[in-house]
Amino acid sequence: MDHCVLKIDKAGQPVDWLSKEQAATLVCNDKVVWSFGDRLIELRGGFNRRGERSILKLHPILAVDGRVSHHSYRVPLSNRLLARRDRYLCMYCGQKFPLSKLTRDHVLPKSRGGRDVYQNLVVACQCCNTRKGNRTPEEAGMPLLAVPFQPTFCEFLALANHHVLADQMAYLEKGFKHQHMRLN
Ligand SMILES: [Zn+2]
């Protein structure tokens, strides 16, 4: 896992995921106001003259000075994030698929003005996507298993990382709006 340290602001608002190296840079430059979390993450550094390797132990949550505003931030959209949101389940037949077998389905078809936004997108298996074709779920008689939603910033951070630690999740959950996310 590359991005494993959660950066938060002084008020406890999640800001971003950091790689170990980015986190170490903040620590070494005295940018960390406080740090928190049980499981320490080790970063191995170089060897000294005696052949000993330096190890920096990082907390999984680092607070930095300043405050962030998520209002202006647009959550990126990708098939991977959609699949994570929909738990790798085809939203029509409910079967689980690997990412490579899931397609992006426009609930209201694109040809009929359906937009490329989270609220109009679900993942579907090839078979269901083809069967639904250029129809709405109602027209096709294929009800959606869950209503697609736009993730909040904190939900996006949770979806973007496969290995969120419990301590980190506690911070992200403050920004969750959708019940669905808590079951993940
Ligand atoms: Zn399906």
Q: What are the tens digits of pLDDT across the range 27-65?
A: 989 999 999 988 788 888 888 888 888 888 899 999 998
Tens digit of each residue's pLDDT, the chain (184 residues): 577 999 999 888 999 999 999 999 999 899 999 999 887 888 888 888 888 888 888 999 999 987 777 666 788 999 999 999 999 999 999 999 999 999 999 999 999 999 999 999 999 999 999 999 999 999 999 999 999 999 999 999 999 998 899 999 999 999 999 887 876 5
72 in Cβ contact with 79 (< 8 Å):
no
* Top CATH class, 79-140: mainly alpha
Name the residue ranges covered by the structural domains of the chain: 3-72+153-182, 79-140
The C-alpha angle 63, 32, 151, rounded to 5 degrees, equals 30
pLDDT of residue 50: 86
Q: Counting Cβ atoms within 10 Å, is residue 104 exposed (0-12), middle (13-18) or buried (19+)?
A: middle
**Rounded distance from Cα 14 to ligand 1 centre (Å):** 35
Other beta carbons within 10 Å of 140: 14
**Rounded distance from Cα 23 to ligand 1 centre (Å):** 41
pLDDT of residue 152: 93
Query: Cα–Cα distance between 36 and 41 in angstroms, integer?
Result: 12
**Rounded distance from Cα 124 to ligand 1 centre (Å):** 5
pLDDT of residue 46: 80
C-alpha 182: how far from its chain's center?
13
pLDDT of residue 179: 80
pLDDT of residue 184: 54
Query: Cα–Cα distance between 184 and 86 in angstroms, integer?
Result: 10
**Rounded distance from Cα 122 to ligand 1 centre (Å):** 11
Closest CA to 120 of 57, 63, 64, 77: 77
Q: Which two tokens stand for residue 96?
A: 């689980």
Query: Cα–Cα distance between 109 and 124 in angstroms, integer?
Result: 13
- Note residues around ion ligand 1 (Cβ under 5 angstroms): 90, 92-93, 125, 128
**Rounded distance from Cα 120 to ligand 1 centre (Å):** 17
Query: Cα–Cα distance between 59 and 63 in angstroms, integer?
Result: 10
